[in-house]
Amino acid sequence: MTDAATNMRLKLPIICFILQIILIILFATLVQYDHETDAAAWHNGSHTSEYENDFYYRYPSFQDVHVMIFIGFGFLMTFLQRYGFSSVGFNFLVASFALQWATLMQGFFHGMHGGKIHIGVESMINADFCTGSVLISFGAVLGKTSPVQLLVMAIFEVTLFAVNEFVLLSVLGAKDAGGSMTIHTFGAYFGLMVTRILWRPNLDKSKHKNSSVYHSDLFAMIGTIYLWMFWPSFNSAVTAHGDDQHRTAMNTYYSLAACTMATYGMSALTAHDGKLDMVHIQNAALAGGVAAGTAGEMMLTPHGSMIVGFLAGIISVLGYKYLSPILEEKLKIQDTCGVHNLHGMPGVLGAIVGAVTAGVATRDVYGKGMADVFPDVASGDVEASYQGVRQAISLAVTLGIALLGGLIVGFILKLPIFGAPPDTICYEDSIYWEVPEEEEDAHDGQLTVVRTEETEKLNN
Amino acid sequence: MTDAATNMRLKLPIICFILQIILIILFATLVQYDHETDAAAWHNGSHTSEYENDFYYRYPSFQDVHVMIFIGFGFLMTFLQRYGFSSVGFNFLVASFALQWATLMQGFFHGMHGGKIHIGVESMINADFCTGSVLISFGAVLGKTSPVQLLVMAIFEVTLFAVNEFVLLSVLGAKDAGGSMTIHTFGAYFGLMVTRILWRPNLDKSKHKNSSVYHSDLFAMIGTIYLWMFWPSFNSAVTAHGDDQHRTAMNTYYSLAACTMATYGMSALTAHDGKLDMVHIQNAALAGGVAAGTAGEMMLTPHGSMIVGFLAGIISVLGYKYLSPILEEKLKIQDTCGVHNLHGMPGVLGAIVGAVTAGVATRDVYGKGMADVFPDVASGDVEASYQGVRQAISLAVTLGIALLGGLIVGFILKLPIFGAPPDTICYEDSIYWEVPEEEEDAHDGQLTVVRTEETEKLNN
Amino acid sequence: MTDAATNMRLKLPIICFILQIILIILFATLVQYDHETDAAAWHNGSHTSEYENDFYYRYPSFQDVHVMIFIGFGFLMTFLQRYGFSSVGFNFLVASFALQWATLMQGFFHGMHGGKIHIGVESMINADFCTGSVLISFGAVLGKTSPVQLLVMAIFEVTLFAVNEFVLLSVLGAKDAGGSMTIHTFGAYFGLMVTRILWRPNLDKSKHKNSSVYHSDLFAMIGTIYLWMFWPSFNSAVTAHGDDQHRTAMNTYYSLAACTMATYGMSALTAHDGKLDMVHIQNAALAGGVAAGTAGEMMLTPHGSMIVGFLAGIISVLGYKYLSPILEEKLKIQDTCGVHNLHGMPGVLGAIVGAVTAGVATRDVYGKGMADVFPDVASGDVEASYQGVRQAISLAVTLGIALLGGLIVGFILKLPIFGAPPDTICYEDSIYWEVPEEEEDAHDGQLTVVRTEETEKLNN
């Protein structure tokens, strides 16, 4: 494994240092504390209590989202038997870059004040959201890409994410607080297109590594459960203060619970011999959070949320069972984590639910709260039905930008300079990490590990 | 393992889908957003700031409780060597059902407004609390029940929990914010009675699986530590705003710290050869949280909390060491997780401490804060000493309903239609889950895993 | 392993019980609820809303800090192959003692009101902070000390921590909200001196245990990621309400992200064969949080924070790669976790950054917010440049007290009565814990575990 092509000795330091120095220069030039994080500005402002600082409204949600990004996504992908270091570790690296870059890109498009990008807790949440989208795409190419490829992907994907988000929220006037479209649909279809372009005809040579072991499945459940628990915070993190945050969290809570019931039922129904399949439990049970991403802040009603989650769970398990094999064989889409089933289809479902729920909104149901959820409808600029049309157009735009973007970025990532692993050593930490080797230690009859030259040779 | 009796192909989907559809119908008929989650209602209300929405008072505590329910309980039970999938996975399934059902049951008894159940963050916390009780009972029967049995148990236990809670809090006027009685005592004695009825005379055939391995003990410590850290949030989650939440969290913090000291001392004192026993550390160190469940919101004083925690730790270790074997041999109570030691005895201790602390409450100590903690004493309706009597009666009622309920439900679960595992395959994931098998991979000298027909046959 | 010297049968219970009983007596004598946790006092006070209770400003941050102390530190140290029980378990024990003792010691020095120590959420955070310092020192001696030694160390270290903190914050008027000096520099150099005094010339006999295995590295990553995610809460937990908490959290967020980029780059650049080294990722990526501990609350600017984090990451990896071997060989400092690289040098860097940032503070930049960050500068008592001098002196004082304290405590811990492990059985759980043994189970072809007398004999 001393292959020059995959050696990261220079490639990784160069990209890390250059990117970080560029980030520092751009931050120095463009970024300022916002009104609520700047000492002088906040103390000059008029507020009756320190509580009016947005920090107290949003920081607990931010931390929950942060856990989802770094623990949730990171550990969810540790299910592979020998790819745990890379799953958690590359997730960590890519997210650390993406959240800084997203601050700039999102700031360009909707955070400029007098030529400066103003930042605070809400921009931090949005940066984490954008990062989540990149990590979804990472799930599609998991095990088949070098860390340099992932950073290059993040550069472009974050940029396109910000463009798409700007078009949806600012140009089209759509609502998508929990990101069924902007985060999940975008990240999934972008990643699927990238993995399609990166198709590896000889990937079956690494096939025996593309599966789980007992303990790796338990590590993955840490990721699953954290994502599941904190999804109510995710969907409500940037909704309006008051009833909106409250309602969004609760809708998501019930959507997820119903989704879990559907997932267990469908898994036993479709899996081998009536036994539950960990792949379904780890992934499909989360589809309810994805599908409540757009409509969660609306008056979806608790039972409406449950129906959405229930359908999302069913669709997602069916996708894992029947659609993924077809995508791989017929369309040459090697989707390691099945992001199409967890983020793609449930994201589209969520977008549709959002369009319908927006289309049927009435003043009776929303009262003065209409101004928070659908400001253009409240102001009389548009009818509710037209808001629904906006939402539907937004889905189409998202799919278009994601697929086109993924196509271009996929070809960029094919350039043979980024240290991609060969087909024979995919899903394998030891190509990019120093991995301790296991060896029978005669002294105490237990499995212990020592790094010996022999085992290193064996691997080479 | 293709035994028709334990095959979940139809049993599990049928119960999951039927239950979820019933839940959706009942929610559609009966459940509404409350004043603080409904867009029109909140915006019609009079509030000086969005901060008055209860979301901001309670949502961080809710999320901590949520982590305890799904990560805490789930991973605490992964200590068994080959039952990690079921521990986390069935915990996940049962909790997802129970929290929905609890919303309805608790709503019937104390959340009805004009024929509708109103829900918000407080009802979500209470639903999670009720779920916790079911998961305690799950701990008693861990490894010996099918997921269908667990769902059936949850249906009845949630209902009886809501009845008991109604009697205690609304009829008797007891206080039990952290649930020493309603959650811990109830869940433990209910589960102990169920496992007594489900007694398996030939369980020793699965005995070699009823123990831990090195890594499973570490996974279990994730559960332990999360329960320990967030117990202050658990006990304070539904107490009154202000000093009450603040004081309850702090009392619990000190109770747990003292309990941990007692646990380590007692474990070294009683365990084999002066060595610490993971079973004690994983469980008894939590007894301080259970025991502070009732009195935590009262003026227990910090040192009072420490004394309670200290005693709870001692009692709990002694229970694991000396009482559990007796319960198993003499009373035929096979208590897998030792819930009697972690939730049963400490719950009773907590109830007694609560009764005494309530009985000696004075206006001097509580001032105008008496109205928050003991409204009936503050209003002059009852004397403090009588409040103590109410608390004591509540303990007796709880024990009665739990034991009687567990008796009946135990017999229901004995019906041979729920797919219970045979005595020879208890504590074993592979009966209900597709489990990856481990096999020596000659190519790289490491343990890797492939699913082969051979290993499957071996297991059958 | 039935050696009388290391047997904990009496030693551990005696110290646990005596310490806890002393704590209870001292709490009963000296500690009271503060204004915000006391029912009568809070209800007598004047506040327009329950929200003014400090609980709502700080409790979410407290819980994040709590997770860092118990999960973060605990699991970070599980990287050793056979020391996971002790890492998490002794961390749990020592922290449970230290937080109680810290409440008293810190209360003596800056929490006395009419002869009583008043406690609430801020004292809880400070107690956790002090505990963190002890756990840093634990990292230096990890694997080489008995739990009794650790408790004895905690008794003295907490006391000296409180003295140092008093000198810095109250006498010298320094600012150090996130504890670059008081927590990290102090804990690291104290621990390094202790481990120097406890130097073991024959430690190479346990050398094969002083390394990781695949899964232990993944458990350690749980610790790393939690520390990383919640460090913004750590640094901001006790800063002033409003913009200060908000700004501190954000500065730390960017410092950590930049640090992670630097860490990955440096690791690939310096490690064997261009591969990433888990030791760097697990530790150096956190140095950005340490280094932002003092200046995080100041107007460091986002790009300033990123520069600080970037430098911290570089220094930390270089320390692991080049300095640690020198410290061990030349200075006889056996620093198990490399706390010098994670807490020592980055702490000193953070102190210097804090001194410089304070020294250049201007009224233009801080406005009326100056009163929160530098009250003495705001009141005109001192110039900003002199505040910088104070900060620099504080660093020197901290180093002096830490090194001198570590020297004395090291010699105390050398007393042969505390059950320290022999050189041949360091980094080994089984000396203090009942550890399940692994054995090939012929029945199902899987690795399973049973406790047999044979394996116990083998170990002895």
Between CA C139 and CA C95 the distance in angstroms is: 13
Instruction: Specify the pairing of strand C438-441 against strand B446-449.
Output: unpaired
Residues of C in contact with A14 (CB under 8 A): 265
| A301 to B28: CB separation less than 8 angstroms, yes or no | yes
Kindly report the nearest CA distance between residue A146 and chain B, in angstroms.
22
Asked if A405 contacts A156 with a C-beta cutoff of 8 angstroms, the reply is yes
- Looking at residue C111, what is its pLDDT? 74
- Looking at residue A427, what is its pLDDT? 97
DSSP calls for A436-455? PPEEEETTTTEEEE---HHH
Which amino acid does the sequence have at C211?
S
ipTM of the complex: 0.95
| A59 vs C249, C260, C369: nearest CB | C249
List average pLDDT for each run of 10 residues in chain A, which is 460 residues long: 80 98 98 97 93 97 98 98 97 98 95 92 98 98 98 98 98 98 98 98 94 96 98 98 98 98 98 93 98 98 98 98 97 98 98 98 97 97 97 98 98 97 96 79 38 38
Which amino acid does the sequence have at B337?
C
DSSP calls for C303-333? HHHHHHHHHHHHHHHHIIIIIHHHHHHHS--
Instruction: Specify the pairing of strand B446-449 against strand B438-441.
Output: antiparallel
Q: What number of C-beta contacts closer than 8 Å exist between A and B?
A: 243
Q: Please identify every stretch of chain B with a pLDDT value under 70, giving residue numbers as ranges.
A: 1-2, 438-460
- Looking at residue A446, what is its pLDDT? 40
Sheet with C116-119: strands ordered across: C31-33, C116-119, C112-113
| C70 vs B229, B254, B370: nearest CB | B229
Q: Which residue of B has its CA nearest to C31?
A: B302
Asked if B288 contacts C22 with a C-beta cutoff of 8 angstroms, the reply is no
Asked if C258 contacts C200 with a C-beta cutoff of 8 angstroms, the reply is no
DSSP calls for C3-63? -GGG--TTHHHHHHHHHHHHHHHHHHHHEEE-TTT-HHHHHHS--SSGGGSHHHHHHHHHH
Which tokens go with C251? 């500065």
| C225 to A88: CB separation less than 8 angstroms, yes or no | yes
B188-247 confidence digits (pLDDT tens): 999 999 999 999 999 999 999 999 999 999 999 999 999 999 999 999 999 999 999 999
- Looking at residue A453, what is its pLDDT? 37
Residue of B58, B263, B275 to mutate when probing chain C, most C C-beta within 10 A: B275
| A44 vs C245, C367, C437: nearest CB | C367
Residue of C80, C264, C269 to mutate when probing chain A, most A C-beta within 10 A: C264
| A278 to B85: CB separation less than 8 angstroms, yes or no | yes
| A274 to B10: CB separation less than 8 angstroms, yes or no | yes
Q: Smallest Cα–Cα separation from B447: which of A272, C440, C221? A: C440
Which tokens go with A392? 């539907």
C374-427 confidence digits (pLDDT tens): 999 999 999 999 999 999 999 999 999 999 999 999 999 999 999 999 999 999
Between CA C184 and CA C190 the distance in angstroms is: 10
| C275 to A8: CB separation less than 8 angstroms, yes or no | yes
- Looking at residue A2, what is its pLDDT? 52
- Looking at residue A1, what is its pLDDT? 45
| A20 to C258: CB separation less than 8 angstroms, yes or no | yes
Residues of B in contact with A214 (CB under 8 A): 82, 84, 435-436, 438, 449
Instruction: Specify the pairing of strand B116-119 against strand B31-33.
Output: parallel
| C100 vs B81, B247, B257: nearest CB | B257
Which tokens go with A162? 């910000």
Chain C contact partners (≥3 CB pairs within 8 A): A, B
Structural domains of chain C, with CATH: 4-427 (1.10.3430.10)
Residues of A in contact with C232 (CB under 8 A): 63
Q: Which residue of A has its CA nearest to B21?
A: A307
Residues of C in contact with B455 (CB under 8 A): 445
Task: Collapse the DSSP code of A116 into the 3-class scheme (helix H, G, I; strand E, B; otherwise coil) and give the result.
Answer: strand
Q: Which residue of C has its CA nearest to A47?
A: C242
Q: Smallest Cα–Cα separation from B151: which of A2, C329, A260? A: A260
* Bridge partners, residue C112, by sequence: C117
Distances B35 to A249, B104, B107 between C-alpha atoms, Å? 15, 18, 15
Q: Which residue of C has its CA nearest to A12?
A: C265
Residue with tokens 């289809």: A345
Asked if B20 contacts A263 with a C-beta cutoff of 8 angstroms, the reply is no
Kindly report the nearest CA distance between residue B191 and chain A, in angstroms.
23
Q: Smallest Cα–Cα separation from A67: which of B344, C384, C229, C197? A: C229
Q: What's chain B's length in residues?
A: 460
Q: What number of C-beta contacts closer than 8 Å exist between A and C?
A: 243
Kindly report the nearest CA distance between residue C272 and chain A, in angstroms.
8
Residue of B53, B71, B253 to mutate when probing chain C, most C C-beta within 10 A: B253
Per-residue pLDDT of chain C (460 residues; tens, 9 = 90+): 457 889 999 999 999 999 999 999 999 999 999 999 999 999 999 898 999 999 999 999 999 999 999 999 999 999 999 999 999 999 999 999 999 999 999 999 987 888 999 999 999 999 999 999 999 999 999 999 999 999 999 999 999 999 999 999 999 999 999 999 999 999 999 999 999 999 999 999 999 999 999 999 999 999 999 999 999 999 999 999 999 999 999 999 999 999 999 999 999 999 888 999 999 999 999 999 999 999 999 999 999 999 999 999 999 999 999 999 999 999 999 999 999 999 999 999 999 999 999 999 999 999 999 999 999 999 999 999 999 999 999 999 999 999 999 999 999 999 999 999 999 999 999 999 999 976 434 334 344 333 333 334 434 3
Between CA C177 and CA B85 the distance in angstroms is: 43
Q: Smallest Cα–Cα separation from C449: which of B214, B62, B367? A: B214
Residues of C in contact with B64 (CB under 8 A): 63
Between CA C167 and CA C176 the distance in angstroms is: 12
How much of chain C is helix, strand and coil, in % rounded to 5? 75, 5, 25
| C432 vs B276, B285, B459: nearest CB | B276
Q: What angle do helix axes B147-165 and B186-197 make, rounded to 10 degrees?
A: 140
Residues of A in contact with C303 (CB under 8 A): 24-25, 27-28, 31
Between CA B1 and CA B420 the distance in angstroms is: 13
Q: Smallest Cα–Cα separation from B31: which of B93, B132, B98, B114? A: B114
| A281 to B89: CB separation less than 8 angstroms, yes or no | yes
Chain A contact partners (≥3 CB pairs within 8 A): B, C
Which tokens go with C172? 């010298």
Q: Which residue of C has its CA nearest to A223?
A: C222
**Phi and psi based region of residue C38 (left: phi greater than 0; alpha: psi -120 to 50; beta: remaining):** beta
Buried b (16+ CB within 10 A) or exposed e, A410-439: beebeeeebbbbeeebbbbbbbbbbbbbbb
| B97 to A257: CB separation less than 8 angstroms, yes or no | yes
Q: What angle do helix axes B11-30 and A243-270 make, rounded to 10 degrees?
A: 160
Instruction: Specify the pairing of strand A116-119 against strand A112-113.
Output: antiparallel
| A265 vs B2, B12, B82: nearest CB | B12
Kindly report the nearest CA distance between residue B451 and chain A, in angstroms.
9
Between CA C60 and CA C232 the distance in angstroms is: 12
Q: Which residue of A has its CA nearest to B216?
A: A215
- Looking at residue A460, what is its pLDDT? 37
Between CA B440 and CA A352 the distance in angstroms is: 48
Which tokens go with C417? 């009565």
